[in-house]
Amino acid sequence: MLTDIQKAANTHWRMLRDQAVSRAEFISCLRVILGNHTGSPFHYLTQNLPSEISHSIFQCQANTQNLLKEWQADFAALGGISEFNASRFLIMIYNSLEDVDTLFTNHITPGTTRHKRDDFSDYVTRRPHSKLGWSLQMTIEGNGHYNCIREQFVSKPGDLILLSPDALYDYRREQSCDLWVHQWVYFQQDERWLELLQWPEIGPGIHHIQTSTSCYGTLKSLLEQIGELHLQASEFSEALKKNILEQILIRSRQLAPKKSLLPFDKRIRLIADYIALNFNQSFTIDTLAALVGLSPARLSALFKQQTGSTMLSFRDERRMARAAQLLAQTQHPINKVAETVGYDDPLYFSRCFSQHLNCNPRQYRKKHQNIEYRKD
């Protein structure tokens, strides 16, 4: 008699192999995974699941073929996969997901996620390429670990993290604590929020503000209100969620250092977004200046004033962030990594990488290659 965990593992295995899975099987499987963690993004699958099950969220992951090869013997064994290995397989599956943004169809989607040690919720969230939406997160309990490429950041209760669409990162529970709880809201940008989203940056597209004691309770309550509205089917719920989110952004912006409160030029935002989306391409300052009707000198001065970085440095940092992700999360040869992020010469890439991260690509891979959930 198979346990629920073994059944859930078998369902995921079939999905990875592009085999038919019924709606009922998938919902049953997710309920095993979710348990009481209804704030997980996967909770929305059980509420808004289409009649035709899409396997793309599991099949499109970068390591799908490696998973199929590594676990083939366990699922083919007489009697099937053991409960112990089924549990480890499920943790590995959710630890490897990269494309969870496809689950969010609303303009504003809130939630509360609990990452508990040795639980199915204890997965690493990765974003290997640009997305459409922003994510605002606030740690409520425990500590979260954000790999911001440039540095490692450990969040504590009251820390606000804002992830822009071009952010490259991964985050998880900090290993020193047993539980990390964070509230979050995933949203599409409104043009009126341009200046409200200019927070101090701790990594490419990753921003941080520490709440004050007096503001923490207010922001937590506002996030909870968005969560309550999300469960309602009112015709005004989306408008109310947007209104409350704007209040959160305004209050958060008030907490930002004064030097980050300068009015932000929309032309600079356009150029920054263009570079972030095309960081692996070559460009000239003249070409970018023509896009926004500025002289090259004026664009360069404005960009440096508003971002604290030159355009080439802004591009190169995103190149290095993506390269670091590929080195840590794939087995691609270094010359392939270099080519992917825009370098024709692997040796030049290695020199640039070493200057940015104080170690060469091979050393970085050895230190950061993910080995957390390998089988015994």
Verify that 140 and 228 share a domain, yes or no: yes
Residue 27 vs residue 52, higher pLDDT: 27
Structural domain including 206 reads 104-260
Question: What residues are paired with 208 via a beta bridge?
Answer: 161
Which of the listed residues 260, 278, 301 is the one where a domain comes to its end? 260
Q: How far apart are CA 62 and CA 50, in angstroms?
A: 24
Distance (Å) of CA 353 to CA 204, 332, 343: 15, 16, 11
In a domain, 335, yes or no: yes
In a domain, 356, yes or no: yes
Which of the listed residues 230, 260, 290 is the one where a domain comes to its end? 260
Per-residue tokens: 169: 């990162």
Verify that 111 and 245 share a domain, yes or no: yes
Verify that 115 and 222 share a domain, yes or no: yes
In a domain, 230, yes or no: yes
Verify that 139 and 247 share a domain, yes or no: yes
Per-residue tokens: 3: 């346990």
In a domain, 373, yes or no: no
Counted domains in the chain: 3
Residues 93-129: pLDDT tens digits? 766 555 555 555 557 888 888 888 877 678 777 765 5
Determine the distance from the C-alpha atom of residue 147 to the mean position of all C-alpha atoms in its chain, rounded to a whole number: 10
Residues 180-237: pLDDT tens digits? 999 999 888 887 887 888 888 888 788 999 998 889 999 999 999 998 888 776 778 8
Which of the listed residues 95, 126, 158 is the one where a domain comes to its end? 95
Verify that 20 and 163 share a domain, yes or no: no
Residue 320 belongs to domain with CATH number: 1.10.10.60
